[in-house]
Amino acid sequence: MPEPVSKLEVVLWNLLEEYLEADADELSASEAARVGRIIRDTLEIDDAPSSRDPGEIADFIYWNCWSASRVAAERWLVSLTEQEIARLQLGDVLSALAPGQAEENDELADENEAERKGG
């Protein structure tokens, strides 16, 4: 049985699909290069996705960020409402995945969860 897709991957995929032109299935070469630069700079890595498919780029991001950042960002995203997620941009999520952001994301998730519980 395949593993369920994480909230983080779904949000990344949806945000990357916003870069598609018309009925295209892939990002244009120029958009893919631009997104690749943003990914490299934000995640502080040397590599960039080789694919222009939004799902494969989301998967690349997911597996090329620090695991602590990934876990904390996933927790942060789960703590958001659907309306808050709808207002996110790709840079918001990539910033949450940047090295050293895990503690801040955990604090944000704690605040969001406390707000929902009325405390």
- Rounded to two decimals, the pTM is 0.88
Q: With DSSP H G I counted as helix, E B as strand and the rest as coil, what are the percentages for the chain, rounded to 5?
A: 65, 0, 35
What are the distances in angstroms from CA 117 to CA 79, 108, 113?
11, 14, 6
64 pLDDT tier (thresholds 50, 70, 90)? very high
pLDDT of 14 strictly over 70: yes
pLDDT of 5 strictly over 90: no
Position 22 scores a pLDDT of 85
Buried/exposed 79-97: b ≥16 CB within 10 Å, e otherwise: bbeeeebeebebeebbebb
- CA–chain centroid gap for 72, Å, is 12
Position 18 scores a pLDDT of 93
> Residue ranges per domain, the chain?
7-116
DSSP state of 19: T
Q: What SS3 state is found at 91?
A: helix
pLDDT of 82 strictly over 90: yes
pLDDT of 57 strictly over 70: yes
